[in-house]
Amino acid sequence: MAPFGLTAFSKLLRGRGSSQPYQAPAASWQRPFGLGWEAPYTVRYASNLDDGPNHGMPLGGFGAGCFGRSPDGQVNLWHLDGGEHWFGVLPDCQFALFESDGSSRRAHALAIAPQRDDSRPVDSSQEPGEPPLEPPLGAWQWYPASTPEQSTGTYAARYPLSWVEHSGVFKASVGCEAFSPILPGDYQRSSYPVAVFRWRLANPTDAPLDLSLLLSWRNTLGWFTNTDPSASVHFRDDGSPEHTYLPAIGRGEGQRNRCVDTDALQGVLLEGRRSQPLAEGEGQWCLAVPADLPGVEVLRCSRWDPRGDGAEIWEPFARDGSIPASDNDRRSRAGEQASAALALRFRLEPGAEIELPLVISWDLPLTAFATGQGALRRYTDHFGASGDNAVAIATEALADWPSWRQQIDAWQQPVLERTDLPEAVRMALFNELYDLASGGSLWTAAGPGDPVGRFGVLECLDYAWYESLDVRLYGSFALLQLWPELDKAVLRSFARAIPAADATPRPIGWYFTQGKGRVEAPRKVAGATPHDLGAPNERPFDATNYTAYQDCNLWKDLASDFVLQVWRSFKLAPGGEDLRFLADCWPAAVEALRYLKQFDANNDGLPDNGGAPDQTFDDWPLQGVSAYCGALWIAALEAALAMAQRLQLELGLDTADVQREFGGWLEQSRTNFDALLWNGEYYRIDAESGTPVVMADQLCGDFYARLLGLPPVVAEERSRSSLVAIREACFERFEGGRLGMANGLRRDGTPLDPDGTHPLEVWTGINFGIAAYYRLMGETDTALAVSSAVVNQVYAGGLQFRTPEAITAAGTFRACHYLRAMAIWALWATHTGWQPIPGAAREP
């Protein structure tokens, strides 16, 4: 079904007069509008981010900045500064509806009453004696929240689509669909800074209804830039590094709003102060509707003051659906705030319905990093970098949104049709893609060697560095299948970084948590595969290894992760094999594996873990050869040999010496891996620590090898035996399987250390990756049971659109907005045999 298409909407309209409840679109996450959570997950460590469960789907293109409208109607998530997070309610960024049937009238802002206005400035520009900020907009009438007994509407989301249906308050049938043009394989429109709101209103009564739809928006130009650009690292109580983000929230000086009319649209343009050259946070917003709306009166107020009770805008709107007509474009003085509004007023006869498209666009061309550093956003390749193009963006959106909407239906249809996957899993396949927009994503303009720009998503908002390689080993399956050129762009960035060196000493955070004081290590050793591509407060892509929790130069999985991802992108990306990409990455792959081989302490072919956590489970010490890192190493050697053969055969590169070198290592590794680690039922976590646990992800390397058509790392009977032990110990005997798989438990399902960290956590992305392994091995029931358990915890526990790395049996989570959770697309790949998504293979 095409949700809220003409036919679907008419069916819903007819159902409103009956006892039939509203049915949200298929495979969408849904919740009664404004209903609170009884017992949502809460954060595990006090210093980690926890904005609460009131999160909705983000709107805006990848790397363009985005905002999120929550299930209670408030706009509360603002990611307009690349890589940075601000969560706060601006009550005047809002829709509202007036209705009169001739004998009665009613008006409501289409959100529940806000508890606060979070726009108080962070600096001294707050004027003495300014009106109190609580309660905000006291003259407004807010929409009633749903209760457990009665719903006043439904919020639903299936990224990049969201819907709000309002019921029981207005006589009109009222629904809104919101989306941005997130289109697989489309490297232009998926970058657009635009949100489309498709309102549908219908009159199911026997009398005419006079209606007016209001959109109000705050001028936030100049707010979203860091006023503390220091790149210094501080350590939180969990030992992870962070930097300070102090946006200029509430600064209004120099802002102005003005009406804008063209042949295509009518609206209001919001502008601010400008630097030369243009600085971060500077540019435009545009609120726009089509120029031609038959039967609709368009009213505009270019400026009103949101700091008081809001009566100046609300009183006329609540009286007759009007707003003060103005085109006041004076610039704000210090301490002032300026909001703009437009209203669409019309009459609906009995049985009539109307569709009203409204667009919010923004043009903030620059993302700034450390002092003097920055990048233009990808969409500027198509609209220019002047910061004057919000109207042009809105114009294209108003012209093309029907086509965009049809293309979204087309690419989502193959997933919707796979009814052999539980509906909740299909829902999560769509909704976990949210992180590509709101995970602090960075997507730069194209440049030499970067035909689609450089791309990155933060590991998470607590661990704010880009594209952690061990995490994207799992989380990049979505990018690979839907935007493969962006996946290649990330891997090219790693290939460039591997030969680089930075001797700057860094304190290693893990040692602080162990009470061992200050231990330092060089930031980046030449030949070491970097953990990440840097942080938004420094120079991402150029200054790598931002994280300092562990010395990543010593990690034993990163080189293998890189090689496997390169071969994966070459073999499995939609559009076919790309030999140029393979050749670009080949020298770095060789250097990375040679660097890792130096940690083979006893010359048995297998790199040894060093005792301090030195792999993706970076709070979990391993000693000697480990199952996790060893299996990845064997798979990576197989992948490197396959690369070498293809490059020699098809491009004429002389790789014979490398093949002999890697082949010798591989033979040694295969001989010793089982001898050191196989215990007759499953693989020991490592060869030297004696830790008696079943590690859930012990054979990630075997999964990758089988997925990529390489020789398996272990024999099939040993793989299957291990999977039985993992399922029983880490899933069925851990909370009865209701949470998902714990990372590592004794064979009987009991913890080695009841106070352990990583072993007792359920990692969402790891679980999806393991589920994909089970599915690859034909264990479909286990694959779907594991993935369904995790999806249920996330989306029933108030973690939607902020999926964390880890959850615990105590109802806590860690590291929200986490990249690894997009590993659910590995389950799609294995379950469907890489069923293609329409558009993903198109040429950039």
Band of the pLDDT at 20, cuts 50, 70, 90? low
- What's the mean pLDDT in 12-30? 66
Contact 730, 767 (CB under 8 A): no
Gap between the Cα atoms of 494 and 469, Å rounded: 9
Residue keyed to tokens 């603002």: 78
Residue 543: its pLDDT value, please? 95
Gap between the Cα atoms of 579 and 590, Å rounded: 16
The one-letter amino acid at 342: L
CA 628 to chain centre: 27
Residue 371: its pLDDT value, please? 73
Gap between the Cα atoms of 758 and 748, Å rounded: 18
CB neighbour list of residue 542: distance below 8 Å, 6 or more residues apart: 534
pLDDT tens figures, 28-57: 999 999 999 999 999 999 889 999 999 999
Question: Computed from CA positions of residues 559, 561, 566, 567, in that sequence, does the dihedral angle turn out positive or negative?
Answer: positive
Gap between the Cα atoms of 730 and 778, Å rounded: 19
Residue 459: its pLDDT value, please? 98
pLDDT tens figures, 521-573: 999 999 999 999 999 999 999 999 999 889 999 999 999 999 999 999 999 99
Task: Spell out the SS3 assignment of 703-767.
Answer: HHHHHCCCCCCCCHHHHHHHHHHHHHHHHHCCHHHCCCCCCEECCCCCCCCCCCCHHHCEEHHHH
Helix (H, G, I), strand (E, B) or coil at 158: strand
Contact 439, 817 (CB under 8 A): yes
Beta-bridged to residue 158, according to DSSP, are: 161
The pair of three-digit structure tokens given for residue 15, joined into one six-digit string? 């159902």
Contact 321, 345 (CB under 8 A): yes
Secondary-structure breakdown of the chain: helix, strand, coil percentages, each rounded to the nearest 5: 30, 20, 50
Question: Computed from CA positions of residues 726, 729, 733, 735, in that sequence, does the dihedral angle turn out positive or negative?
Answer: negative
Band of the pLDDT at 472, cuts 50, 70, 90? very high
Q: Which of 745, 741, 803, 747 is nearest to 770 (CA)?
A: 741
Band of the pLDDT at 135, cuts 50, 70, 90? confident
Tell me which DSSP letter residue 333 carries. P
Contact 684, 699 (CB under 8 A): no
Residue 321: its pLDDT value, please? 98
Lowest mean pLDDT among 232-236, 281-285, 404-408, 837-841: 232-236
Residue 514: its pLDDT value, please? 85
Q: What phi and psi values does residue 503 have, to the nearest 5 degrees? A: -80, 5
Tell me which DSSP letter residue 207 carries. S
Band of the pLDDT at 844, cuts 50, 70, 90? confident
Gap between the Cα atoms of 423 and 632, Å rounded: 32
Contact 399, 40 (CB under 8 A): no
pLDDT tens figures, 62-72: 999 999 999 99
User: Strands 623-624, 42-43: parallel, antiparallel or unpaired by DSSP?
Assistant: unpaired
- What's the mean pLDDT in 322-347? 96
Residue keyed to tokens 């969201």: 162
The pair of three-digit structure tokens given for residue 719, joined into one six-digit string? 């793989």
- What's the mean pLDDT in 703-716? 98
Residue 237: its pLDDT value, please? 62
Beta-bridged to residue 339, according to DSSP, are: 218, 304
pLDDT tens figures, 379-424: 999 999 999 999 999 999 999 999 999 999 999 999 999 999 999 9
Gap between the Cα atoms of 66 and 48, Å rounded: 22
Q: What phi and psi values does residue 360 have, to the nearest 5 degrees? A: -115, 120
Tell me which DSSP letter residue 558 carries. H
Residue 6: its pLDDT value, please? 27
pLDDT tens figures, 441-455: 999 999 999 999 999
**In sequence order, what DSSP letters do the residues of 410-433 get, joined into one string?**
HHHHHHHT-TTS-HHHHHHHHHGG
Inform me whether the pLDDT recorded for 126 exceeds 70.
no
Residue 231: its pLDDT value, please? 61
pLDDT tens figures, 774-830: 999 999 999 999 999 999 999 999 999 999 999 999 999 999 999 999 999 999 999
Mean pLDDT of the chain: 94
- What's the mean pLDDT in 491-510? 95
The one-letter amino acid at 102: G
Band of the pLDDT at 21, cuts 50, 70, 90? low
- What's the mean pLDDT in 424-449? 97
Residue 8: its pLDDT value, please? 32
Burial (0-12, 13-18, 19+ Cβ within 10 Å), 384 = middle
- What's the mean pLDDT in 244-266? 95
Contact 478, 436 (CB under 8 A): yes
Gap between the Cα atoms of 230 and 216, Å rounded: 35
Gap between the Cα atoms of 419 and 421, Å rounded: 5
- What's the mean pLDDT in 340-355? 98
Inform me whether the pLDDT recorded for 584 exceeds 90.
yes
Lowest mean pLDDT among 239-243, 575-579, 664-668, 680-684: 239-243
Residue 239: its pLDDT value, please? 62
Residue 9: its pLDDT value, please? 32
Contact 699, 721 (CB under 8 A): no
Residue 2: its pLDDT value, please? 31
285 or 5: which carries more pLDDT confidence? 285
